[in-house]
Structure 1
Amino acid sequence: MCKAARSLLGWGQGEFAAASGLSKSTIGAFEAKDEDARLTTMNNKAAVEAFETAGLEFIPENGGGAGIRFRERKAP
C-alpha cells in the first residue's frame, strides 16, 4: 500500500523519505517485501502521518479490501 500511496501523491522514495523521516533504504526494503524489513511501530506511525498530512486517508479492511484514497475535502 506504500507504493500506491506514493503514486497517488506523485512521490518518489526520496520525497516520501523527506516527508516521513524514514531512510530510502528502509522504504525500498519494505516495498520490496524484504522479509527482514519490518517497520517498527514508530516508523509505521511516521509513514502514516506523512501520508495523512499530505491529504490521504487509509480505508480499513471491511470485506471490500483495505485501501488508500484522497481525504474528502469539507465544504467551506
Structure 2
Amino acid sequence: MPKHVTRAQIRAGRALVDWSVRELSARSGVHRNTITNFETGKSGGDQTTLSSLRAALEAAGVVFIPANGGGAGVRLKKEPNEG
C-alpha cells in the first residue's frame, strides 16, 4: 500500500537534515525541478516520485508521521543513546 506524503512533509524533512533541493535531487534521483514543482504545488507528484523522495529522506533519518488528529508531520529518528 502506498504511503502518503505531503508537500509540507518533504519541505520539513529537507529542513531537518539541512538539504537543499539539489541535495535531495542527488540523493533521490528525482530532478530538482520536479521537487520544486511538487513543493510549490505546481504538480501533484506521482507515486513513484513521492516514494523516491520519501525513501531518500528516511535513509537520512527523517521519520514521516501520518495524520493522527494532530496533522501529518516529520521528525528525526531518535538516536539509540538518547533518553
TM-score computed with the length of structure 2 as normaliser: 0.81
> Which residue is equivalent to 2:33?
25
Question: What letter is aligned with 1:47?
Answer: L
Question: C-alpha separation between the residues in 2 aligned to 1:23 and 1:30?
Answer: 11
Partner SS for 1:68: strand
Q: State the structure with bigger RCO (CA 8 A, min sep 6), 1 or 2.
A: 2
Offset at residue 73 of structure 1 (A): 2.4
Aligned length: 73
> Which residue is equivalent to 2:50?
44
TM-score computed with the length of structure 1 as normaliser: 0.88
Offset at residue 3 of structure 1 (A): 1.1
Using the aligned pairs only, state the percent identity. Answer: 36
On the 8 A contact 2:63/2:76 being kept in 1, the answer is: yes
Poorly superposed stretches of 4+, deviation over 6 Å: none
Structural RMSD (CA):
1.0
